């Protein structure tokens, strides 16, 4: 008998009937403290939460302003920038490539992880912004793979205001509704951090030292 079968055998023998009572259908709102749900306060809540964690949040009126913002942010650190190829970035950030010129690293040219060492800024989209926790939820296929959002020291997320949801519960429900051909999703809440030495907070332990979220208003 294989280990698998033996373990299953032991599990089955250990089973006792589950309680007949159905699990209570508890919604997020029953467990957590109240949070507002109108769009304006959602953005404010998101901004407050993420800024508490030393993330940066910018709200811009349209795509052109979004490009401006990304260039400005990239300028603030200098170095090379890698933008997630294809849509939705092309329409979210019109003309970005021309404005960054030779600072732009072609994603196709960065094959192995060592090449990433020269990328200072990673720019990606996201699937959801979560107001109550100040989090960003993204999947590999919506945000340029596993590495782009974690290897470069500065991660810029560009998302539309309509992607904002109030709570983690809604974001996870939303994730279930998206196309399932992804292998990896990350729920990101602030820049990388550690408090392993004397419980003192340090940013940029291994992941990005800076995280900026640019929220584009126009639909």
Partner 1 sequence: MQEPRAFLQRAAAKTRDEEHRLKILKAIDTYTRVVEQRKHTQFRDWRQARQLAARIKDDVLARLPELLQQFEERITARGARVFWAETAAEARQYILDLVARRQARVVVKSKSMTTEEIGLNEALQHAGVDVWESDLGELIVQVAGEKPYHIVTPAMHKNREDVARLFHEKLGAPLTQDVEQLTMIAREHLRHAYVSAEIGITGANFILAEEGAIVMTENEGNGRLTMACPPVHVVLVGLEKVLPSMRELALFLPLLATSGTGQQITCYNSIVRGPRQPGEPDGPEEMHIILLDNGRTELLAQPEFQHVLRCIRCGACLNACPVYRTIGGHTYNTPYQGPIGSVITPHLRGFRQWYHLPFASSLCGACSDVCPVNIDLHHLLLWNRHRAVEREHTAAPGWRLAMKLWAWGMRRRKRIALLRPWLRLGTKLLLPLLPGAQRRRVPSMAEHSFARLWRDHERQKSHF
Distance CA 100, CA 164 (A): 28
Of the two residues 78 and 184, which places its CB atom closer to partner 1 in the complex?
A: 184
Which residue among 23, 101, 109, 219 contacts partner 1 (CB under 8 A)?
A: 23
> According to CB under 8 A, which residues from 101 to 120 bind partner 1?
107, 112-114, 117
Distances (CA, A) of 46 to 27, 69, 134, 135, 203: 20, 19, 5, 8, 20
Can you say whether residue 33 is alpha, beta or left, with left for phi > 0 and alpha for psi between -120 and 50 degrees? beta
Which residue among 28, 44, 56, 68 contacts partner 1 (CB under 8 A)?
A: 28
Q: Interacting stretch for partner 1, rule CB under 8 A, among 16-24, 68-76, 88-96, 156-164?
A: 16-24
Minimum distance from residue 48 beta carbon to partner 1 (Å): 12
Contact between 175 and partner 1 by CB under 8 A: the answer reads yes
Of the two residues 65 and 107, which places its CB atom closer to partner 1 in the complex?
A: 107
Contact between 142 and partner 1 by CB under 8 A: the answer reads no
Distances (CA, A) of 196 to 94, 206, 211: 42, 13, 21
Which residue among 67, 124, 163, 167 contacts partner 1 (CB under 8 A)?
A: 167
**Phi then psi dihedrals of residue 210, to 5 deg:** -130, 140
């Amino acid at each position: 008998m294989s280990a698998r079968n033996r373990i299953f055998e032991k599990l089955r023998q250990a089973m006792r009937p589950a309680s007949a009572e159905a699990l209570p259908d508890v919604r997020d709102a029953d467990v957590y403290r109240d949070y507002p749900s109108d769009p304006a306060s959602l953005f404010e809540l998101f901004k407050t939460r993420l800024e508490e964690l030393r993330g940066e949040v910018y709200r811009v009126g349209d795509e052109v302003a979004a490009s401006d913002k990304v260039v400005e942010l990239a300028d603030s650190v200098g170095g090379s920038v890698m933008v997630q190829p294809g849509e939705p970035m092309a329409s979210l950030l019109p003309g970005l490539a021309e404005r960054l010129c030779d600072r732009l690293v072609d994603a196709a040219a960065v094959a192995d992880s060592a090449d990433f060492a020269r990328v200072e800024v990673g720019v990606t989209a996201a699937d959801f912004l979560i107001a109550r926790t100040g989090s960003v939820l993204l999947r590999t296929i919506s945000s340029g793979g596993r590495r782009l959002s974690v290897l470069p020291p500065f991660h810029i997320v560009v998302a539309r205001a309509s992607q904002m949801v109030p709570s983690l519960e809604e974001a996870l429900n939303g994730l279930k509704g998206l196309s399932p051909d992804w292998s990896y999703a990350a729920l990101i809440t602030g820049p990388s951090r550690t408090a392993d030495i004397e419980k003192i907070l340090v940013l940029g332990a291994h992941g990005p030292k800076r995280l900026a979220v640019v929220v584009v208003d126009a639909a």
